[in-house]
Amino acid sequence: MKRRLLLASTTAAALSPATSRAQQKAVPVIGYLGGEGLAVTAPILAALSQGLSEAGYVDGQNVTIEQRLAEDHYDRLPALAADLISRKVDVIVASGYPAVVRAAKEASQTIPIIFVVRGDPVGAGLVASLARPGGNLTGVSFMVVDVNPKRLELLRELVPQAGLLGVLMTPDGGAESIERNPLERNLGEAARSIGIQLLVLKARTEGEIEASFAEFVQRQTRGVLVVRNPLFSGRREQLVSLAARHALPAIYGSSEYVMDGGLISFGPNDSSVVRQAGIYIGRILKGAKPADLPVQQPTKFELAVNLRTAKALGLTIPPSILARADEVIE
């Protein structure tokens, strides 16, 4: 009897370190799948990290983030998503257009996916509804389409005599087709409601953007709405410079443009929206289910105005706009 007890104790002692190691929980791994390059991704990761820290997680300490970036080559997304799955990540963050989220969704129907999406996640077929997303996806949406008519109205306030305004967006098709069609439809309806015409031009490369501004001037547009998207975010300096060079009042979707010398912007506070996605990741890591977390949307939109740029353009900003502005650069 004593011998058996001794053997049992010896065996337990021999196994205990291995058992302890096996039972010790590894540091959770978050896989980040992005459609853009590092310039666009860096501020998104910073805001995600802020939300994660509020949930008690710090990258490099008690959580690890693995990045896979398509750098605007959307055909790479399936392979990048599959690579993250092979790394046995605990959560996937899918950031960009619905095509990015779809690649993650097609790669796994079980790993929780938190998206940061530019567009309508319901219309894109990513979730069943905003309140009850269902499945393994939830996240935040920037409502890109719905805000542009308001930007058009603000631009018309700045140039009330304009009969023709320009719109600059990226080309239809591919990863962006699900955003662009409703966007053009909504802008067209908004233009008709305020009695103006639109010249819609589409550009992707640096040369195409420059040619578009030249055409806006040639066609005598009085102002330009630059549609918010990641590609243009990466070309912010060029867009602001071209608007100044051609003396065209332009409205943008982010206050970053105004900080860089752009005239006016209207849109959500990006970091506060993405921060919520970071908080969601923390909740998922603590056991919450994506299906139980409603999709979040911006609740506050910020209006920023650069008076120095307005002066250079010979524009007087209407008091109605200044009174509503959240930020004014003098």
Note the residue count of the chain.
Answer: 330
Which tens digits make up the pLDDT trace of 235-255?
899 999 999 999 999 999 989
Nearest CA-CA partner of 259 in 181, 328, 158: 328
For domain 29-143+269-292, which CATH number applies: 3.40.50.2300, 1.10.240.10, 2.40.37.10, 3.20.10.10? 3.40.50.2300
Which tens digits make up the pLDDT trace of 39-78?
888 989 999 999 999 999 999 999 999 999 999 888 999 9
Domains 29-143+269-292 and 144-267+301-329 share a fold: yes
Residue 91 vs residues 23, 104, 148, 181, 240: alpha-carbon distances, Å: 21, 11, 32, 31, 37
Q: Are 322 and 316 in contact (CB under 8 A)?
A: no
Domain boundaries, the chain: 29-143+269-292, 144-267+301-329
The pLDDT value given to residue 145? 65
The Cα 212–Cα 206 span in angstroms is 10
**What residue ranges of the chain have pLDDT lower than 70?**
1-25, 144-145, 172-182
The pLDDT value given to residue 38? 87
Q: Are 88 and 272 in contact (CB under 8 A)?
A: no
For domain 144-267+301-329, which CATH number applies: 3.30.230.10, 3.60.15.10, 3.40.50.2300, 3.40.50.880? 3.40.50.2300
Nearest CA-CA partner of 169 in 149, 138, 199: 199
The pLDDT value given to residue 172? 55
The pLDDT value given to residue 189? 85
Residue 185 vs residues 162, 182, 297: alpha-carbon distances, Å: 20, 5, 21
Query: What is the full DSSP assignment across 258-306?
Result: HHTT-SEEEEE-HHHHHHHHHHHHHHHHTT--GGGSPPB----EEEEEE
